[in-house]
Amino acid sequence: MSEVRTERAGSALLITIDRPEARNAVNAAVATQLSAALDELEATPELRVGVLTGAGGAFSAGMDLKAALKGESPVVGDRGLGGLTEAELTKPLIAAIEGFALGGGFELALACDLIVAAEGARFGLPEVKRGLIAAAGGVVRLPQRIPHHLAMEILLTGEPIDGVRAGALGIANRVVPDGETVATALQLAEQIALNAPLALAAVKAVVRSQDPWAAQRAESARLMTTADVREGMTAFAERRAPQWTGQ
């Protein structure tokens, strides 16, 4: 049985973790199938943006501890938890969060480029309550996203925050009523997909670079040689929507 479902919605790929009976916790099957879904997004030219969500009113409760005790790994190669937290994706990925995004679930969300949160969502990194740290990117990414002392409160207490608080801290791009996150995320995906795919990939490459200034120069120079840049300039001059080819 598939534990990760994919559905094309225009130029977006909706990816749903489908283990509601386990609050969409990540076991080996979820990790393998999520990694494959991300590969589908990357390999399909007509797909421009991904939206990641969970079934049954929860995003993900993180690593499946029962499966881990049986020896299952939620890590895929060098791509991290769920094949996502250390993956270098070229296409934008939006997390649509309903219900729990705890531990590894929160880390999956932090690995996305944008986050849409339901007001009643619960974000938390409770690993310290189990003698662990948020080692799938939580201790790295969270202090990069929000002020140091606020990140440290979440990391050191292990206590969750709701979607409204996540929005106030800047963790979430949008905070919407419960049940509306996927629709909102797909709207954001449509807006992003109007832009040049090579430029979107270049933005991501610069942002994650160890030397962003050098990466910025290299990506800008490369983009200036592309057909999409010429198309973008021509479309502007002709007052029409550009027709991107990704070339």
Residue type, 150: L
Query: Per-residue pLDDT averaged across 88-117, rounded?
Result: 97
Question: Among all residues, which ones are annotated catalytic?
Answer: 107, 127
pLDDT for 215: 95
> What's the burial of 45, exposed, middle or buried (CB within 10 Å: 0-12/13-18/19+)?
exposed
Maximum separation of any 2 CA atoms in the chain, in Å: 62
pLDDT, tens digit, for every residue of 197-245?
999 999 999 999 999 999 999 999 999 999 999 999 999 999 999 999 9
Q: What is the mean pLDDT of the chain?
A: 96
pLDDT per residue as tens digits for the range 32-45: 999 999 999 999 99
For residue 184, what are the contacts with CB-CB under 8 A and spacing of at least 6? 96, 116, 174, 176
Q: How many CB atoms lie within 10 A of CB 223?
A: 16
For residues 132-160, give the mean pLDDT: 97
Residue 46: predicted pLDDT: 94
Mean pLDDT, residues 47-59 taken together: 97
Task: Check residue 60 and give its pLDDT.
Answer: 97
Tell me, what's the pLDDT at 69?
85
pLDDT band at 65 (very low <50, low <70, confident <90, very high): confident
Q: Is the pLDDT of residue 68 over 90?
A: no
The answer to whether residue 59 scores a pLDDT higher than 80 is: yes
- The pLDDT value given to residue 181: 98
Query: Is a pLDDT exceeding 80 seen at residue 1?
Result: no
| Torsion-angle region of 179 (φ positive above 0: left; ψ -120 to 50: alpha; else: beta) | left
**Local structure of residue 9 (DSSP, 8 states):** E
Domains of the chain are: 4-193 (3.90.226.10), 197-238 (no CATH)
